């Protein structure tokens, strides 16, 4: 993945008017609380409606057990969305958090608590960012089949900066008997209307 799909293309951020490069971003949406399918669809639709974000593709839906959460946490439904944007990663993160809030996301202290909607910024071009409230690439993405498998579905050439080709990361996790498995749910789909 490169910083921009075409390094000669720049566009104005309609919110600030600044000229910024268009970069490809990868987002993972998940839900394990409430109406999971509707939450994912609503999150995807909200991203489609986000100014300065052009959603390119959405993966099939996957189901997986909650990772690092309470024992009674329900299974997650997840999708990966790729998009082109002129937004800075920080601004995109703020918009993702606003979408989560719109779907009733609560932020308890307990790590891995069930949530109505989770919208994680996985990658922003080939950028590396380490700030108090934002780390890109997502620090645990390389360990998460529920991120990697749907990402590979929408981008067979996917590359996670600092970690390698997604197809190789999936193979490495396949060799780990303790890695949580994911199940593709072809009976469910998210649309980009």
Active site residues: 105, 115, 118, 120
| Residue among 31, 61, 78, 64 at smallest CA distance from 185 | 61
Q: Is 131 left (phi over 0), alpha (psi -120 to 50) or beta?
A: beta
Buried b (16+ CB within 10 A) or exposed e, 169-184: bbeebeeeeeebebee
Q: Is 166 exposed, middle or buried (0-12, 13-18, 19+ CB in 10 A)?
A: buried
Q: What element of type H or E holds 170?
A: helix 166-174
């Amino acid at each position: 993945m490169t910083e921009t799909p075409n390094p000669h293309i720049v566009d104005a951020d309609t919110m600030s008017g600044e000229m910024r490069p268009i970069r490809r971003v990868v987002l993972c949406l998940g839900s394990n609380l409430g109406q999971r399918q509707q939450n994912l669809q609503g999150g995807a639709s909200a991203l489609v409606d986000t100014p300065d974000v052009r959603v390119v593709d959405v993966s099939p839906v996957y189901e997986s057990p909650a990772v690092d959460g309470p024992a009674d946490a329900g299974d997650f439904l997840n999708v990966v969305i790729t998009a082109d944007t002129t937004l800075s990663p920080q601004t995109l993160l703020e918009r993702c958090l606003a979408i989560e809030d719109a779907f009733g996301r609560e932020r308890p202290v307990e790590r891995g608590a069930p949530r109505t909607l989770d919208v994680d910024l996985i990658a922003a071009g080939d950028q590396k960012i380490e700030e108090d409230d934002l780390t890109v690439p997502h620090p645990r993405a390389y360990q998460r089949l529920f991120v990697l498998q749907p990402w590979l579905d929408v981008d067979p050439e996917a590359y996670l900066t600092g970690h390698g080709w997604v197809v190789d990361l999936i193979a490495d996790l396949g060799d780990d008997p303790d890695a949580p498995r994911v199940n593709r749910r072809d009976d469910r789909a998210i649309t980009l209307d």
